[in-house]
Chains A and B, each alone.
Chain A
Amino acid sequence: DAGVTQSPTHLIKTRGQQVTLRCSPKSGHDTVSWYQQALGQGPQFIFQYYEEEERQRGNFPDRFSGHQFPNYSSELNVNALLLGDSALYLCASSQLFLGRLETQYFGPGTRLLVL
């Protein structure tokens, strides 16, 4: 089992550009959550996808959007990049069972630098 995988590992963009980050969940998992981690801070929840729908959303602007595919993989899109979007973007996968979301397992992250 490969665990949660993310691509790319590193990315450099300039202000105003758009970026797409990708995540493949652990085998058997059906739910994907995205988190943003600024330097020196704990991860902050962006949103979560289940059955190709956004299930929950944190306090992030509409510039942050996502998608989940039928194979449960997911994308995070960020439009009109700001310098403050520079961070480690983490994907976590889990399984929804009887309405409860079981343990979330994280991928290695994508380091985004906005210049």
Chain B
Amino acid sequence: DAKTTQPTSMDCAEGRAANLPCNHSTISGNEYVYWYRQIHSQGPQYIIHGLKNNETNEMASLIITEDRKSSTLILPHATLRDTAVYYCIVYNQGGKLIFGQGTELSVKP
């Protein structure tokens, strides 16, 4: 079973920041938080990952709480092309990724 809990769906206005929450209260010390997204019928796309510290790359920012029990993926200026299912995954870099249901993000004009 997935070790994360995410809202089923969210809406965001185009040009605004999209903040996608994820709860992972049972995360272990050696487990990373990974985010992928999947645009309809395509392969999942890697977005970002982190262990303890906040991370930023050209796609998004990842904010991890100090107790590491939750995190937020931030897309700073959402566009229509960001409409996708977003998966938050707790991963110990041991092998398999365990996907949950993800959050279906709809960016609206």
**A interface residues, Cβ below 8 angstroms from B:** 4, 33, 35, 41-45, 48, 55-56, 58, 88, 90, 92, 100-109, 111
Contact = CB atoms under 8 A, between A and B. Distances in A.
B97 A45 contact: yes
Given A41-B101, A55-B95, 20 more contacts: A4-B43, A33-B97, A35-B97, A42-B99, A42-B100, A43-B97, A43-B99, A45-B96, A45-B97, A48-B96, A56-B95, A100-B93, A101-B94, A104-B97, A106-B43, A107-B43, A108-B42, A108-B43, A109-B41, A109-B43
B62 to A, nearest CB: 13
Task: List the 10 closest pairs (A to B, CB-CB), nearest first.
Answer: A42-B99, A106-B43, A45-B96, A100-B93, A56-B95, A106-B44, A108-B43, A109-B43, A43-B99, A101-B93
- The secondary structure that dominates the B interface is loop
9 contacts: A33-B95, A42-B2, A42-B87, A42-B99, A55-B95, A56-B96, A92-B44, A103-B34, A109-B43
Contacts of A107: 43
Interface string B82-99: 000001000001111111
A27 B55 CA distance: 25
Contacts of A101: 93-95
Contacts, number: 54
Contacts of B87: 42
Nearest to B97: A104
Contacts of B36: 106
A111 B95 CA distance: 24
A104 B45 CA distance: 9
B85 to A, nearest CB: 8
